[in-house]
Amino acid sequence: MNFTAIDFETAHAEFPCEIGLTKVENGIITKSQSWLIKPACFPYMNPWNQRVHGISSADVSSASTFEELWGELKLWIENDYLVAHNAAFDMRVLRSVLAYYDLAVPRTEYFCSVSISRKTWKHLPSHSLGVVSQFHNISFNHHRAGDDARACAIIALKAFDSVNALNVRDGLSKLGASLKKL
């Protein structure tokens, strides 16, 4: 069971101001990290986004740009399965920031933890990250990318464990979900 959970917080539209990644190897979380990102729209921060995640222009003023971080981030992402809670959003942000900096799209496939949580815990009133995390007693600082990525990884592991999955492909097959190409 190997994959990487990813989460973005955005400054505006699809300009990331934080990324969180959590690596799962052989079914165990082996590392988790987050990076503040100086967004391409700096110093502008959408006030609504800032209220959600609490990241300000001052917080990212000395941060590296995504382009500067890409060499390190790519090692986490390339040739691995990615999972995100509401993957459509995070993959759109990833594609957009790669296009903005004219960086090659890495070889990867992804799946969505919202989708697999809906198939696994049908009785929940919502499948938001907060609700599913509360159901599993996962404590985290919501809307901070590192914590959100870690919670997403735990949710994916719990969903796969519920069907005795041998690996990501087996788990997705048993849950009736699929991989998508980035």
Single-letter amino acid code for the residue at 62: S
Measured between alpha carbons, how far is 77 from 73 in angstroms, rounded to an integer?
A: 7
- 24-54 confidence digits (pLDDT tens): 999 999 999 999 999 999 999 999 999 999 9
Superfamily of domain 3-181 in CATH is: Ribonuclease H-like superfamily/Ribonuclease H (3.30.420.10)
How is residue 168 written in tokens?
Answer: 């990501």
CB 57 within 8 A of CB 43: yes
pLDDT at 8: 98
- 125-137 confidence digits (pLDDT tens): 999 999 999 999 9
pLDDT at 13: 87
Computed over every residue of the chain, the mean pLDDT equals 97
Measured between alpha carbons, how far is 48 from 34 in angstroms, rounded to an integer?
A: 21
